[in-house]
């Protein structure tokens, strides 16, 4: 084997090679490198170039030395090439070297570097021509980077594939979920569409987004009618609208609301619905949509109402039955003490009902009860309850009575209406009613007491013989009876000339002269005898009779004025008491003017007295009329002063000449220092306002002296003179005048 040395880079290596003695084959195959450039090229190449002779390295370029990690190319010379091959590839390499060729292909293997590390390379072995099959040239290139890149590529490819696989799996899963969700949605849609309950989907804007078929069937409104409208658009009953407002509040507070109410279909038909509405919110609590579910509960409601009706109403008359009646009484009795009003309870029973049943039969009896019901309902006021307690017994609850007396007019109306003839299937039937009345709180504040009292009052009405009403309290019955007698008697009093006027003189304390007289009405009833005005005047006020009788009194007073003049007396002013009702009459002042003109009485001959309390009740109108009378020259006095709570400012406003101190103050003037103070104040006030002050009801000398001491202008009272008829008064005045002269 020839000795070859690497001369190192830069010079001569290749030329030496060119001079290799290939043992006689020189001529056949001379290596034909031309010059140093070729050497340079190979030596500086980035790939491995190596020449081996008989498997041993005889030349190695620098890149090769680097690949094999030998410190320099010289160190590799003479070494077996396969020593540098990784054991794993060594056999392959040996075979290729033996074959002197890799058949023009690159053979991938690994070098076993001097430093022990493996290095991926690709080599191509080619026979060196002319070496007698001993030498080979080896070209190698570093594929470590490529491998690494490939490996990385492979890795990343693997990763990518794994990721894609994962994605694919996720995608499959998602597709499956979506399919299932879609199935579910389709399924739910089918379910919703076929539900018997109406479902309304409402957007966050509170407008309907969709309705199902049941909604249209239930309400008559189609999808087109409903969509884009607020969910309550179909709530058309007043009850429903009221409930809708409450619904909003519930929805805002709880996010849920449920309620039942009667509603109207599009065609106006009535149906009952149970509506539940739920708000669905996002994680922030913002409403995303609402769902309304409506059930038609008409049948249920009707059943409920039927049951309620049977439990609470009488099936024959349709009136509340005993049970509902008791509930209502309980309720109203509980409320009554909080009002200033009274509660009346009336038991009405038909006299002769049993007879109708027995003679005409029960069907006619039923008919009578039905017709009676109609008549009773026509009698009562709004707010009253008519109930049937059983048999021929009815009851009327009257809340809101201003006085117990109000019940009497209703009782009378019922007596009158029931007493009218009934026609039962062509049969004329006459019955009457008996009525028992109890008043809350007068006759009790407990339901049981009131019922007991009304029942016992009814029993007494029956006992008396029926066709009447009785109050449960005996006193009240007497009072009512008396009023009735008074009313009846008064009706005829005027035409029967049962009224007369008495006169009571008034005395001027300073001059000792009689300043006038007060006309006081007297009524002598043929049945009752003398009735005091305190009893019959209020009844006339109530019936309105006072207007006519008041006119009569004015006329009589004027006539009396003239009569006394004719008798030769000095003119005497006559004071006539007026009722507020008269003052309220239109043209009252004009009427008086006419009367004065007719009778020739000067206005100064007449005085009118009106009580303070009446004035206070109806100030506006009274003041106008009184002012007119005052203007004409008629004297005006404020009667019973001190009982009507008028203030100083009112007094100033009223067109009055005289203040009459109520006799209740005068009565105690000698014993009660408070009354002394009051009288003193009134007198001072009267003087300040330039009004005359008269003290009424002076009965003793002591009272008279006190009043004189306080400078009271006039007095009136039994001490000086009682009210007397015209004749006696004239005699009294004449005697007085004669005495003072
Ligand atoms: P009045 O206008 O305050 O009349 C005074 C009342 O006191 C009269 O009662 C009279 O009899 C009574 N009286 C007079 N002096 C004394 C006394 O010293 N002691 C006592 N205890 N009483 C005395 P009378 O006549 O019973 O009249 C009562 C009320 O009836 C009158 O009160 C008046 O408000 C009303 N009245 C009388 N006549 C008429 C009238 O023609 N029309 C109207 N609207 N009301 C009248
Ligand atoms: Mg008077
Ligand atoms: Mg008086």
Predicted confidence band of residue 23 (pLDDT cuts 50, 70, 90): very low
Mean pLDDT of the region 65-81: 88
Per mean pLDDT, which range of 154-158, 548-552, 592-596 is the poorest? Answer: 154-158
Taking the centre of ligand 2 as the mean of its atom positions, its distance from the CA of residue 609, in whole angstroms, is 6
Asked if residue 661 is part of any domain, the answer here is yes
Taking the centre of ligand 1 as the mean of its atom positions, its distance from the CA of residue 56, in whole angstroms, is 166
Q: Is the pLDDT of residue 272 over 80?
A: yes
The CATH number that applies at residue 249 is: 3.30.450.20
Q: Which DSSP string do the residues of 279-296 spell out, in sequence order?
A: EEE-TTS-EEEEEEEEEE
Counting from 1 in the atom list of ligand 1, the atom nearest the Cα of 609 is 2
Residue with the nearest Cα to atom 41 of ligand 1? 521
Taking the centre of ligand 1 as the mean of its atom positions, its distance from the CA of residue 629, in whole angstroms, is 22
Q: Is the pLDDT of residue 580 over 50?
A: yes
In angstroms, the Cα distances linking 674 to 665, 671, 685, 688 are 9, 9, 16, 21
Answer whether 281's CB lies under 8 Å from 287's CB: yes
Residues 81 and 220 occupy one common structural domain: no
Residue with the nearest Cα to atom 19 of ligand 1? 697
Asked if residue 182 is part of any domain, the answer here is no
Residue with the nearest Cα to atom 22 of ligand 1? 697
Counting from 1 in the atom list of ligand 1, the atom nearest the Cα of 611 is 34
What is the model's pLDDT at position 349?
Answer: 96
Asked if residue 309 is part of any domain, the answer here is no
The string of pLDDT tens digits covering residues 297-325 is 898 888 888 888 888 999 999 999 999 99
Q: Is the pLDDT of residue 45 over 60?
A: yes
Residues 126 and 249 occupy one common structural domain: no
Closest CA to 484 of 409, 431, 591, 587: 409
Taking the centre of ligand 2 as the mean of its atom positions, its distance from the CA of residue 520, in whole angstroms, is 7
Full residue range of the structural domain in which residue 720 is found: 484-740
| Domains contained in the chain, number | 4
Taking the centre of ligand 1 as the mean of its atom positions, its distance from the CA of residue 521, in whole angstroms, is 8
Residue with the nearest Cα to atom 42 of ligand 1? 577
Q: Is the pLDDT of residue 87 over 60?
A: yes
Answer whether 678's CB lies under 8 Å from 642's CB: yes
Mean pLDDT of the region 341-361: 91
Q: Is the pLDDT of residue 34 over 70?
A: no
In this structure, which ligand is nearest to the CA of 575? 2
Which of 472, 503, 535 is the C-terminal boundary of a domain?
Answer: 472
Asked if residue 215 is part of any domain, the answer here is yes
In this structure, which ligand is nearest to the CA of 697? 1
In this structure, which ligand is nearest to the CA of 520? 1
Residues 424 and 533 occupy one common structural domain: no
Ligand 3 is an ion; residues with CB less than 5 A from it: 639-640, 696
What is the model's pLDDT at position 711?
Answer: 94
Predicted confidence band of residue 741 (pLDDT cuts 50, 70, 90): low
Q: Is the pLDDT of residue 188 over 80?
A: no
Predicted confidence band of residue 348 (pLDDT cuts 50, 70, 90): very high
Residues 278 and 367 occupy one common structural domain: no
| CA–CA separation, 688 and 680 (whole Å) | 12
Q: Is the pLDDT of residue 37 over 70?
A: no
Q: Is the pLDDT of residue 574 over 60?
A: yes
Per mean pLDDT, which range of 30-34, 55-59, 198-202 is the poorest? Answer: 30-34
Residues 255 and 370 occupy one common structural domain: no
Pocket test for ligand 1, best of 554, 696, 720 (most atoms within 8 A of CB): 696
Counting from 1 in the atom list of ligand 1, the atom nearest the Cα of 578 is 44
Show the tokens assigned to 523.
């009524």
Most confident of 127-131, 221-225, 260-264, 331-335: 221-225
pTM of the model: 0.50
Residues 596 and 682 occupy one common structural domain: yes
Asked if residue 189 is part of any domain, the answer here is no
Residues 463 and 592 occupy one common structural domain: no
Q: Which DSSP string do the residues of 661-725 spell out, in sequence order?
A: E-HHHHHTTTT-HHHHHHHHHHHHHHHHTT-EEEE----SHHHHHHHHHTT-SEE-STTT---B-
Predicted confidence band of residue 237 (pLDDT cuts 50, 70, 90): confident
Counting from 1 in the atom list of ligand 1, the atom nearest the Cα of 699 is 18
Taking the centre of ligand 1 as the mean of its atom positions, its distance from the CA of residue 520, in whole angstroms, is 6
Pocket test for ligand 1, best of 499, 533, 539 (most atoms within 8 A of CB): 533
Taking the centre of ligand 3 as the mean of its atom positions, its distance from the CA of residue 93, in whole angstroms, is 154
Residues 614 and 700 occupy one common structural domain: yes
The CATH number that applies at residue 709 is: 3.20.20.450
The string of pLDDT tens digits covering residues 710-739 is 999 999 999 999 999 999 999 999 998 877
Q: Is the pLDDT of residue 429 over 80?
A: yes
The CATH number that applies at residue 379 is: 3.30.70.270
Q: Is the pLDDT of residue 31 over 70?
A: no
What is the model's pLDDT at position 646?
Answer: 67
| CA–CA separation, 583 and 374 (whole Å) | 41
Sole residue written with tokens 């019940």: 407
pLDDT mean across residues, the chain:
86
Predicted confidence band of residue 13 (pLDDT cuts 50, 70, 90): very low
Taking the centre of ligand 2 as the mean of its atom positions, its distance from the CA of residue 576, in whole angstroms, is 7
Taking the centre of ligand 1 as the mean of its atom positions, its distance from the CA of residue 250, in whole angstroms, is 67
Residues 656 and 510 occupy one common structural domain: yes
In this structure, which ligand is nearest to the CA of 503? 1
Most confident of 46-60, 361-375, 537-551: 361-375
- How many C-beta atoms surround the C-beta of residue 300 within 10 A? 13
Predicted confidence band of residue 441 (pLDDT cuts 50, 70, 90): confident
Ligand 1 is surrounded, with C-beta below 6 A, by: 504, 520-521, 532-534, 537, 546, 550, 553, 577-579, 609, 611, 639-640, 663, 696-699, 716-718, 723
Asked if residue 181 is part of any domain, the answer here is no
Residue with the nearest Cα to atom 12 of ligand 1? 697
Counting from 1 in the atom list of ligand 1, the atom nearest the Cα of 640 is 3
Taking the centre of ligand 3 as the mean of its atom positions, its distance from the CA of residue 594, in whole angstroms, is 27
Peptide bond into 441 cis (omega under 30): yes
Predicted confidence band of residue 507 (pLDDT cuts 50, 70, 90): very high
Counting from 1 in the atom list of ligand 1, the atom nearest the Cα of 722 is 15
Taking the centre of ligand 3 as the mean of its atom positions, its distance from the CA of residue 638, in whole angstroms, is 9
Pairing relation of β-strands 270-281 and 287-296?
antiparallel
Counting from 1 in the atom list of ligand 1, the atom nearest the Cα of 718 is 18
Asked if residue 188 is part of any domain, the answer here is no
In this structure, which ligand is nearest to the CA of 579? 1
What is the model's pLDDT at position 5?
Answer: 43
Pairing relation of β-strands 432-440 and 427-429?
unpaired
| CA–CA separation, 250 and 290 (whole Å) | 13
Which of 443, 472, 501 is the C-terminal boundary of a domain?
Answer: 472
In this structure, which ligand is nearest to the CA of 504? 1
What is the model's pLDDT at position 21?
Answer: 44
Mean pLDDT of the region 210-218: 91
Q: Is the pLDDT of residue 571 over 70?
A: yes
- Cα separation of the two ends of the chain: 200
Residues 649 and 604 occupy one common structural domain: yes
Q: Is the pLDDT of residue 189 over 80?
A: no
Pocket test for ligand 1, best of 538, 577, 715 (most atoms within 8 A of CB): 577
Which of 148, 176, 204 is the C-terminal boundary of a domain?
Answer: 176
Residues 498 and 539 occupy one common structural domain: yes
Per mean pLDDT, which range of 162-171, 288-297, 576-585, 599-608 is the poorest? Answer: 162-171
Asked if residue 310 is part of any domain, the answer here is no
Residues 290 and 366 occupy one common structural domain: no
Per mean pLDDT, which range of 164-173, 360-369, 614-623 is the poorest? Answer: 614-623
What is the model's pLDDT at position 543?
Answer: 82
| Cα-based angle 399, 401, 405 (whole degrees, multiple of 5) | 135
What is the model's pLDDT at position 10?
Answer: 38
Taking the centre of ligand 2 as the mean of its atom positions, its distance from the CA of residue 403, in whole angstroms, is 27
């Amino acid at each position: 084997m020839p000795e070859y040395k690497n001369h190192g880079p830069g010079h001569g290596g290749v030329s030496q090679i060119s001079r290799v003695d290939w043992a006689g084959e020189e001529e056949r195959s001379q290596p034909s490198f031309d010059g140093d450039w070729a050497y340079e090229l190979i030596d500086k190449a980035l790939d491995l170039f190596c020449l081996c002779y008989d498997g041993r390295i005889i030349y190695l370029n620098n890149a090769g030395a680097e690949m094999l990690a030998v410190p320099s190319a010289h160190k590799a010379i003479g070494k077996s090439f396969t020593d540098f091959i990784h054991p794993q590839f060594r056999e392959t390499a040996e075979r290729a070297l033996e074959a002197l060729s890799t058949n023009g292909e690159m053979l991938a293997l690994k070098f076993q570097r001097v430093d022990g590390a493996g290095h991926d390379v690709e080599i191509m072995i080619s026979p060196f021509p002319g070496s007698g099959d001993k030498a080979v040239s080896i070209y190698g290139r570093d594929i470590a980077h490529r491998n690494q890149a490939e490996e990385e590529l492979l890795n990343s490819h693997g990763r990518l594939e794994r990721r894609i696989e994962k994605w694919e799996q996720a995608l499959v899963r998602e597709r499956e979920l979506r399919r299932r969700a879609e199935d579910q949605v389709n399924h739910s849609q089918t379910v919703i569409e076929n539900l018997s309950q109406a479902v309304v989907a409402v957007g966050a804007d509170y407008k309907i987004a969709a309705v199902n078929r049941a909604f249209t069937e239930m309400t008559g409104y189609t999808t087109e009618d409903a969509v884009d409208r607020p969910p309550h658009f179909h709530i058309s009953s007043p009850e429903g609208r009221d409930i809708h407002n409450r619904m909003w509040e519930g929805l805002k507070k709880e996010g849920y609301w449920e309620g039942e109410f009667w509603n109207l279909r599009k065609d106006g038909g009535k149906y009952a619905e149970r509506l539940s509405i739920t708000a669905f919110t996002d994680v922030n609590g913002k409403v995303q949509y609402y769902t309304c579910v409506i059930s038609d509960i008409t049948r249920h409601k009707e059943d409920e109402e039927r049951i309620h009706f049977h439990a609470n109403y009488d099936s024959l008359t349709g009136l509340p039955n005993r049970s509902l009646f008791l509930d209502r009484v309980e309720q109203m009795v509980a409320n009554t003490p909080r009002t200033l009003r009274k509660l009346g309870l009336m038991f009405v029973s038909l006299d002769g009902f049993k007879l109708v049943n027995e003679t005409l039969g029960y069907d006619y009896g039923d008919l009578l009860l039905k017709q009676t019901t109609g008549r009773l309902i026509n009698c009562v006021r709004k707010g009253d309850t008519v109930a049937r307690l059983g048999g021929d017994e009815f009851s009327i609850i009257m809340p809101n009575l201003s006085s117990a007396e109000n019940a009497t007019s209703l009782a009378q109306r019922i007596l009158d209406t029931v007493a009218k003839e009934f026609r039962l299937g062509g049969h004329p039937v006459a019955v009457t009613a008996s009525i028992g009345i109890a008043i809350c709180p007068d006759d009790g504040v407990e339901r049981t007491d009131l019922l007991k009292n009304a029942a016992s009052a009814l029993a007494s009405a029956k006992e008396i013989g029926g066709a009447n009403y009785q109050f449960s309290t005996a006193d009240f019955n007497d009072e009512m009876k008396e009023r009735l007698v008074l009313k009846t008697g008064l009706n005829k009093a005027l035409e029967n000339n049962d009224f007369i006027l008495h006169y009571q003189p008034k005395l001027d304390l300073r001059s000792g002269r009689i300043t006038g007289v007060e006309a006081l009405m007297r009524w002598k009833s043929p049945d009752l005898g003398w009735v005091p005005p305190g009893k019959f005047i209020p009844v006339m006020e109530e019936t309105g009779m006072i207007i006519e009788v008041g006119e009569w009194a004015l006329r009589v007073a004027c006539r009396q004025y003239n009569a006394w003049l004719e008798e030769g007396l000095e003119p005497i002013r006559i004071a006539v008491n007026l009722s507020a009702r008269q003052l309220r009459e239109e043209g009252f002042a004009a009427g008086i003017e006419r009367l004065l003109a007719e009778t020739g009485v000067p206005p100064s001959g007449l005085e009118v007295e009106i009580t303070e309390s009446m004035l206070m009740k109806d100030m506006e109108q009274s003041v106008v009329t009184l002012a007119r009378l005052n203007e004409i020259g008629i004297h005006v006095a404020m009667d019973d002063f001190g009982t009507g709570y008028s203030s100083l400012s009112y007094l100033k406003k009223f067109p009055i000449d005289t203040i009459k101190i109520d006799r209740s103050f005068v009565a105690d003037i000698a014993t009660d220092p408070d009354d002394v103070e009051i009288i003193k104040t009134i007198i001072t006030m009267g003087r300040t306002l330039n009004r005359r002050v008269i003290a009424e009801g002076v009965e003793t000398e002591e009272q008279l002296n006190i009043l004189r001491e306080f400078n009271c202008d006039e007095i009136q009272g039994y001490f000086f003179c009682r009210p007397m008829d015209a004749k006696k008064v004239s005699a009294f005045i004449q005697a007085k005048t004669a005495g003072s002269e």
